[in-house]
Amino acid sequence: MAVLLMKLRLVPDDELAEIEALLEQHELEFYSTSAGSWGISLPALWLLDGERLQEAKALLESYASERQAQSRQLYESMKESGKQRTMLDIARESPLRFVLSLAMVAALLYVSLIAFW
């Protein structure tokens, strides 16, 4: 019987492709479900053989730790070289959008806190 291996909400496409390749490499049969037309269904990876669930979870755990280490290393190298985007860079790229976002945050705070004054 198929068992839920992992939910796919907010999983980037490149990460999903790597996970699928990893599962295929270890000959684990799986299928994926999408969020559907309205986005309310469960996007997920399902393992067809429930008896191999622990093996699949161990693979995913080791993959996640490797991906985290790679991402951390990339972040640190970009930070050291000065290529990591900062808040100031975002404001320079799109000043109007940045100001409007700040105004929205201020308005939300005002509406949320006005009752306490």
Give the model's confidence band at 103: pLDDT under 50 very low, under 70 low, under 90 confident, else very high: very high
Give me the pLDDT at residue 22, please. 97
**Residue 117 predicted with pLDDT over 90:** no
Q: What DSSP designation does 84 have? A: S
Q: What DSSP designation does 5 have? A: E
**Positive or negative, the Cα torsion across 24, 26, 20, 39?**
positive
